[in-house]
Structure formats: C-alpha cells, structure tokens
Amino acid sequence: MEKLTRGDLMSLEQYAEARPAFKARVIEHKRSRRVPLGTNASLYFEDRLTMQYQVQEMLRIERIFEAAGIHEELDAYNPLIPDGTNWKATFMVEFPDNTERRAMLAQLVGVEDMVYMRVDGFGRIMAIADEDLERSDADKTSAVHFLRFELTPEMIDALKSGAALHAGIDHPNLVVDVGPVPDDVRASLVADLD
C-alpha cells in the first residue's frame, strides 16, 4: 500500500470544505476495520484512508500549513499504513470507568505482546508491539498500543482463497478468542495484502 505524500493531502481550506463528507466516508470505512476482543479491548486496523484522515485532522487541529510540519505528520503516521504483507492496528484497552481502567492496566502488563491473529490452518501471528516507543512499564500497560502482524506468503494465499480469520488475546488476566471475524472485516483486511 502506498505511503501518503504531501500531494495526497488537502490544504486547510480545502479540508474545511470537504471535512463533513470525508469524515462520514472514513467513519463508514472504519466499521469494517474493527475487531472487538471481548468487551474491553479492540483492534482498529489502519490503512491509507484512516491515516490520511488522521493526518488531515492533525493538520487542522494544529493549524499546520508549512512543509516541514506537514512532513513531520506524514513521518509520524505513514508507518501505520500496511506494507502489503502485514496488518497494522491500533489496540485499545477500553474501560469507561477511570478507576477500573487504572486497575486493569496494572493487571494487564504485557498484554500488547499477547494479541494475535490466526488464519485457519496456520499458527498464531503474534503482534509486534510499539515499534516507535515503549508504552508500558513494570507497573502498568498503556490503554493504546500500535501493533503489526506479519503474514507469510502462504497465509496470504490462504486468506485470498477464503480461509477464515481469527483474533485473540492470550494474557493470563485476559483470554479472548474471536472468530471467525465477520466477512466484511475479513474482506477489508485481505484487501490490504499484496
């Protein structure tokens, strides 16, 4: 999948006009890119469109219009676009109550390394977490992590031939196995693969 360039972005003025329709398009697109992992965690799979939206929003919020600032945003978000042999996802631990969330984040240290995807007929694809910076320490994990799942050519072929896709977490304090994932999510993720 191609990375974003400055030429792919709208100016602040253009984005202000296009934002309502663009935002609606992205929200609809994201519906087929979310995999709930139980009731308190989710994977939000990123792609070129979700990252274009993120960059446009950051430019808008921070009122960035100079080339250097735009390139900084592109450098920050382009690594979250899949490369054709992988999926990239934002993993979120979601507890609405602040006290409960803090307690659970302390119990879930290392959970980001225990998230997996699985193609029928193959072993688990364990997440490679937080390649940009560490988001956990010995006392607690973060509520947000960035994950990469690397697939083999055989897994990609199997998915393109219709193999089911599963997801899960295998942490001592949070065991979840989801699957097969819904067809629309599976199709959206298969489209990310070369």
Domain of residue 152: give its range.
Answer: 6-190
pLDDT tens digits, one per residue of 88-144: 999 999 998 999 999 999 999 999 999 999 999 999 999 999 877 667 777 889 999
pLDDT of residue 46: 97
For residue 1, tell me if it sits in a domain.
Answer: no
For residue 107, tell me if it sits in a domain.
Answer: yes
Judge contact between 63 and 12, C-beta under 8 A. Answer: yes
**Average pLDDT taken over every residue of the chain:** 94
For residue 10, tell me if it sits in a domain.
Answer: yes
10 Å CB burial of residue 124 (0-12, 13-18, 19+) is middle
Q: Residue 194 pLDDT more than 90?
A: no
Identify the residue whose tokens are 């489209």: 191
pLDDT of residue 139: 86
pLDDT of residue 133: 65
Read out DSSP for 110-123?
Answer: TGGGGEEEEETTS-
pLDDT of residue 1: 79
pLDDT of residue 179: 86
Q: Residue 54 pLDDT more than 70?
A: yes
User: What is the mean pLDDT of the segment spanning 153-171?
Assistant: 97
Count of structural domains, the chain? 1
pLDDT tens digits, one per residue of 13-43: 999 999 999 999 999 999 999 999 999 999 9
For residue 93, tell me if it sits in a domain.
Answer: yes
For residue 105, tell me if it sits in a domain.
Answer: yes
Judge contact between 126 and 113, C-beta under 8 A. Answer: yes
Identify the residue whose tokens are 């199709």: 187
- Between CA 57 and CA 22 the distance in angstroms is 11
